[in-house]
Structure 1
Amino acid sequence: MNTRVSVAELFSRDEIRELTEPSDSQGGWAVASTWAVIGATFAGVALSWQYLPGWGKLLVCAAVLAILAGRQLALAILMHDASHNSLFKNKWLNDHIVDWACAKPIWNDLHKYRTHHMRHHAKTFTVDDPDMSLVTGYPTTKKSLARKFLRDISGITGLKFSLGRVLMDAEVLRWTVANDKIWLPREGRQWHDYPRTLLKNSRGAIITNAALFGALWAAGHPKLYLLWPLAYLTPFPLFIRIRSMAEHAGMENSNSALTNTRTTKAGWIARAFVAPIRVNYHMEHHLMASVPYFKLPKMHQLLRERGYAPEPPTYRQVMSLLSKKSGKIDGNQAVIQKS
């Protein structure tokens, strides 16, 4: 098992100070631009829908669902960065603006996520890692991976996740990201406690989604809101799966981020759908979680120059690798062991 590497061995004090300096303007741009794309997507559908033939509407609908799901993942990554207090310098912006502008619209909670996610960083790739179920079972066969992807894109995974979220908000299940079934004690609870608790924990998602629906209603296109939950149920789980696989699946069982976490090369298509907000620089993030998203490429370049980070694989290479029972890839020391 590899020993954990100290960042002080990799970077000077001045480099660490410079790399970990967040920016309110960069954080604000990331949030604003994500919502700008969402707004432009809805506007594009509203303006073009009446002029399209039937087959054109189907193609546009598929593209819109993918774009919206990619931006839903971007909102999740913004929440993730704020949980590390690296998105904004200002703690209030990290804790409150991001919770309401990014987490709650996708039925999440920044503060619950932060507690959960800190355990993932402290226990990465151990039995106590709360996200282990997201990356176990790889490598697998091509048929198995295809079945997983089909369940995602057909909405089966999304519906199961949504049911799990209802049970978590009702405090029947313990809150997790991975949707693991950890039942909470029910002694002393009455039947009416469950809907009351559900409403209390879900009200942020209800309020923010009502606001989105209201904005579309005011623009004269309330039906377009249906694209938002549909994207959440279909492409969104697929994009989450691909992102999770790329980050940790098939990596070495070690306590070093250099070998238990993978950085992946992301072109513009990957950045649009599965790797927004520089989340593909995941090895760098695990080495120093306080580095804001816009400085991760510089950190990666420094590691490359010093021989700590080889050429990363592409998402296509990682998916191909993880759909085999054995094999290895040079990029990012992504050694795959037999399962």
Structure 2
Amino acid sequence: MPAAARVDPRTFFSPSEWAPLARRSRWKGLALLAHAWGVIFAAAAMAVVWPVTLPLAVVLIGGRQLGLSILMHDAAHGALHPNPKVNDLAGEWLTGGGLARYRAYHLGHHRFAQQDEDPDIGLSAPFPITRTSLRRKMIRDLTGQTFFKQRFGDLAHRLKTRSPGQPLLPILAEEVRRKRRWLLGGLVITLIGGAFGVWWAWPVFWVLPQATWFPVITRLRNIAEHACIARGEPDPLRQARTTRAGWIARSALAPYWVNYHCEHHMFMHLPCYNLPKAHRLLASKGMLDSMLYEPGGYPVVLDRATGRRQTPAAAASAT
């Protein structure tokens, strides 16, 4: 199947409008990385001083863990920094790693957005689903089951299917090799935390949010971006959804303007910090009605994803 249709920026923007949108700052992307880590450390410190705030810290840290993933996503598009070497170094070492592997995968998603060859099509294809099904999925997310399956599912399968007499040590050594950066980071944080009497910092302030809140908001983000969009959708303005997000949503589940996903698919090399301006310019040109835009926010998207509210296309066909 041919690649998904692309959008020409000249169709919507004059050269004077497009130039500042496409410009990549030498400091903004790095400042966002510093912000993400700053929030993580501040939330952890808050919970150390006031342990009762741990649930809030888990939400804030999980939100910034997603934020780091979003900034790695920008790096995958070469949009985190104008210098390619700085872009890739920051995207690899300051966000959690895996940039090269993610870039190859993610650019395939853009090339075939909502087409059969889209590597992410399985994330949006099942919708709408029942509220009960969504509730079960979110419970699995919050209880760490999704995290365990994604992080250790392959190891569990290899151990389960290990033939009698097959050495165990090589399997475990391979698993450590695959997760060496994650484990090394945990070791460093544990050693540093131990010097200040908080040796438990890594499991509590990194793994706990990563195993609970992060999977939930990742699922919600995926639903908002592509759920209930027709498979094979030919219109490049309707292959991804932009969702309005207030300050609470931006803090807890939609960091760094990830909610402007339609604009991102239309102009995938724009830095994330320029997406709100692109949205405002498109709105001023009367384009929001042609785009897939949900002004009702994430609650309305979830209503559509669980069949409680019709999608605009379904509602139009019913009349």
Task: Tell me if TM exceeds 0.5.
Answer: yes
Q: Where does residue 289 of structure 1 map in the other structure?
A: 268
Question: CA contact under 8 A between 1:100 and 1:204: conserved in structure 2?
Answer: no
Change (3 A) 1:80 1:336: farther
Distance across 1 between alignment mates of 2:213 and 2:317: 29
2:80 partner SS: coil
Distance across 2 between alignment mates of 1:291 and 1:66: 28
Distance across 1 between alignment mates of 2:259 and 2:10: 23
Q: Where does residue 95 of structure 1 map in the other structure?
A: 88
Q: For each residue in 1:241-267, what CA deviation from the matched residue of structure 2 results, as whole angstroms up to 9, or x when unmatched?
A: 000000010123313331111000011
1:230 partner SS: helix
Letter aligned with residue 59 of structure 2? A
Question: CA contact under 8 A between 1:72 and 1:232: conserved in structure 2?
Answer: yes
Q: For each residue in 1:11-51, what CA deviation from the matched residue of structure 2 results, as whole angstroms up to 9, or x when unmatched?
A: 223333221111121011100011011111111111123xx
1:324 aligns with one of 296, 299, 307: 307
1:218 aligns with one of 195, 200, 209: 195
Q: Where does residue 10 of structure 2 map in the other structure?
A: 8
Q: Where does residue 139 of structure 2 map in the other structure?
A: 150
Q: For each residue in 1:93-151, what CA deviation from the matched residue of structure 2 results, as whole angstroms up to 9, or x when unmatched?
A: 221122111123xxxx1110001101000011111111112222111111111111111
Letter aligned with residue 309 of structure 1? L
Distance across 2 between alignment mates of 1:112 and 1:13: 34
Q: For each residue in 1:193-245, what CA deviation from the matched residue of structure 2 results, as whole angstroms up to 9, or x when unmatched?
A: 65554444322222223233333223321123222111111111110000000
Matches within 5 A, 1:80-159: 80-104=73-97, 109-159=98-148
Question: CA contact under 8 A between 1:251 and 1:334: conserved in structure 2?
Answer: no
Question: CA contact under 8 A between 2:294 and 2:301: conserved in structure 1?
Answer: no
Question: CA contact under 8 A between 1:4 and 1:255: conserved in structure 2?
Answer: no
Distance across 2 between alignment mates of 1:111 and 1:167: 26
Change (3 A) 1:336 1:74: farther
Letter aligned with residue 86 of structure 1? A
Matches within 5 A, 1:162-201: 162-164=151-153, 194-201=171-178
Deviation at 1:324, TM superposition (A): 0.7
Letter aligned with residue 66 of structure 1? V
2:94 partner SS: helix
Distance across 2 between alignment mates of 1:261 and 1:334: 17
Letter aligned with residue 185 of structure 2? T
Change (3 A) 1:232 1:215: same
1:125 partner SS: coil
Distance across 2 between alignment mates of 1:226 and 1:124: 36
Q: Where does residue 47 of structure 1 map in the other structure?
A: 49
Identity %, equivalent residues: 32
Matches within 5 A, 1:266-277: 266-277=245-256
Change (3 A) 1:334 1:302: farther
Distance across 1 between alignment mates of 2:154 and 2:119: 16
Q: Is 2:144 the counterpart of 1:204?
A: no
Q: Where does residue 312 of structure 1 map in the other structure?
A: 294
Q: Where does residue 71 of structure 2 map in the other structure?
A: 78
Q: For each residue in 1:138-166, what CA deviation from the matched residue of structure 2 results, as whole angstroms up to 9, or x when unmatched?
A: 11111111111111112111111112475
Q: Where does residue 29 of structure 1 map in the other structure?
A: 31
Q: For each residue in 1:30-78, what CA deviation from the matched residue of structure 2 results, as whole angstroms up to 9, or x when unmatched?
A: 00011011111111111123xxxxxxx3xx2322221111111011111
Letter aligned with residue 251 of structure 2? A
2:210 aligns with one of 232, 257, 264: 232
5+ residue gaps, structure 1, are 50-56, 173-189
Query: How many residues of Structure 1 are paired with residues of Structure 2 in the alignment?
Result: 303
Deviation at 1:92, TM superposition (A): 1.8
Change (3 A) 1:162 1:319: same
Matches within 5 A, 1:54-65: 57=52, 60-65=53-58
Scaled by the length of structure 2, the TM-score of the pair is 0.86
CA-atom RMSD, angstroms?
Answer: 2.8
Question: CA contact under 8 A between 2:68 and 2:96: conserved in structure 1?
Answer: yes
Q: For each residue in 1:281-332, what CA deviation from the matched residue of structure 2 results, as whole angstroms up to 9, or x when unmatched?
A: 0001101111111111110111111222246330111011111177124xxx
Change (3 A) 1:152 1:88: same
Letter aligned with residue 89 of structure 1? P
Change (3 A) 1:82 1:4: closer
Distance across 2 between alignment mates of 1:209 and 1:17: 42
Q: Where does residue 163 of structure 2 map in the other structure?
A: none
